[in-house]
Amino acid sequence: METSIASDKAPAAAFAKRLKRRVAARQWDFFAVTAPNLETLCRRELEALPADVQALKTVTGGVEFRGRLHDAYAANLHLRTATRILMRLARFRADSFGRLEEKLAAVDWELFLPQACALDIRVTARHSRLYHSRAVADALGRAVSGRVAVGAADELPLQRLQLRLSDDRAVLSLDTSGEPLYKRGLKSTGGPAPVRETAAAAVLMTAGFSAGMALADPMCGTGTFSLEAALLAQGIAPGRLRNFAFMRWPSFAPGRWKEALRRADRRQQRLDRPFIVASDLDPAACETLRGVVGAHEILGVIRVENRDFFETAPGPPPAAGGLVVLNPPYGRRLGSRSEGRALVREIFGKLQADYRSWRLAMILPKGYVEEKPPFAVHFSPLHHGGLKVVLLTGRVPA
Ligand SMILES: C[S@@+](CC[C@H](N)C(=O)[O-])C[C@H]1O[C@@H](n2cnc3c(N)ncnc32)[C@H](O)[C@@H]1O
């Protein structure tokens, strides 16, 4: 009997040892994926992480960094502008199908993936002999299913794998995040044109929003700016309310995760007085947002009002400053470009009349901005739902 217990324990201990040596204890290359134009902000965030990440390099579409697996826990938990965190599993030459299969078979998949999972395989191929991305994806699926149980996404956790082929070189990556990081776990439904949380955080950071300032979000829709501002101003980690793909991996270390949460919580400075006013013309949007705010204690700093932007005036900003953030309707719902320009002129007029000394951040399609806005603003490029838009930041004259 004793012999049998010892022999049952032996494979588990050997597996744990392999996990530690081959996964947890070593350094990995990671890639924080961002939307275009958010790379620099994301790098700044990575540099400020409570984690030991090194060798940062900004490239188009994201930031490369190096660290241990638990440093990726911190990246997922804290980064406001990253869309997901990829872990580089292998890089190899892949100039023939045989070589690709050999390299994929050499990966210790059982050390990385849940014992049973569904796969979301993404392959891109550029200037490569292996250009048939479907066949490459099938080869990757076969290699994984030889080592862990692969099944349907409605029954098993979904794990995303990426294989990028470029000039016959392959980069194989494992997604550590799961659902994209702009899903913060606050909203349950979307609105007609919500701005992504990652872009909203970037807008607030670019406009210099910080703790102590007031925020006016007078065309709030689903309230993305207000929700992001509540998290940002209180130092709440944006991933505090959600789960991540790495939590289902055999290497997941709950002690490390709890430590990351404790560190995150020490950075919080909870505020109780409402300093964010989210308002919208649409009563249904306000009602939905009120539901979200009411469901989370940390959102008690947001007041939701059903009001017309053009019929209200917030008064002067508090001594620490105030930011008015606007993402007016546009596109089909608004009509032609000239109608869009007319609305933007009206908004500027309202700001000059009733938002004197407030900082401004406004997202607009490029063509909607007159050559010369009525006061000095800075233009930055931004992507919003596949559209190229501009972010205007500045201060409304006193
Ligand atoms: C593009 S959406 C804003 C999306 C928002 N940023 C989000 O993340 O959900 C524009 C919003 O402006 C609101 N709106 C349009 N005209 C308004 C007005 N005069 N006063 C207040 N809200 C207005 C619409 O009801 C809509 O919710």
Q: Is 131 exposed, middle or buried (0-12, 13-18, 19+ CB in 10 A)?
A: exposed
Atom of ligand 1 nearest to the CA of 330: 1
Nearest CA-CA partner of 312 in 207, 220, 178, 237: 220
Per the CB < 8 A criterion, the answer to whether 155 and 85 are in contact is no
pLDDT exceeds cutoff 90 at 75 = yes
Of 187, 224, 281, best ligand 1 pocket probe by most atoms within 8 Å of the beta carbon: 281
- The Cβ of residue 283 has, within 10 Å, a number of other Cβ atoms equal to 9
Higher pLDDT, 219 or 131: 219
The residue whose CA has the least distance to atom 1 of ligand 1 is: 329
**Which domains can be identified in the chain, with CATH numbers?**
2-175 (3.30.2130.30), 197-234+269-395 (3.40.50.150)
Give the residue-averaged pLDDT of 118-146. Answer: 96
The pLDDT tens digits of the residues spanning 345-358 come to 999 999 999 999 99
How sure is the predictor about 1, in pLDDT bands with cuts at 50, 70 and 90?
Answer: very low
Predicted confidence band at 193 (pLDDT cuts at 50, 70, 90)?
A: confident
Residues with Cβ < 8 Å from 371, sequence gap 6 or more? none
Q: Is 163 helix (H, G, I), strand (E, B) or coil?
A: strand
259: its two tokens: 């430590």
pLDDT of 248 strictly over 90: yes
Please count the helices (runs of H) and the strands (runs of E) in the chain. 11, 15
Cα 252 to its chain centre, rounded Å, is 21
pLDDT category, 218, cuts 50, 70, 90? very high
Confidence (pTM): 0.94
Give the separation between CA 112 and CA 86, rounded to whole angstroms: 13
Task: Give residue 327's identity as a one-letter amino acid code.
Answer: N
Cβ(368)–Cβ(331) under 8 Å? Answer: no
pLDDT over 50 (residue 391): yes
Ligand 1 atom nearest residue 310's Cα: 19
Closest atom of ligand 1 to 221 CA is 27
Atom 8 in ligand 1: residue holding the nearest Cα: 194
Residue 87 has pLDDT above 60, yes or no: yes
Tell me how far apart the alpha carbons of residues 319 and 346 are, in angstroms, rounded to a whole number: 27
Residue 383 pLDDT level (bands cut at 50, 70, 90):
confident
For atom 7 of ligand 1, the residue with the nearest CA is 194
Which of 198, 219, 305 to probe ligand 1 with, by most ligand atoms within 8 A of CB? 219
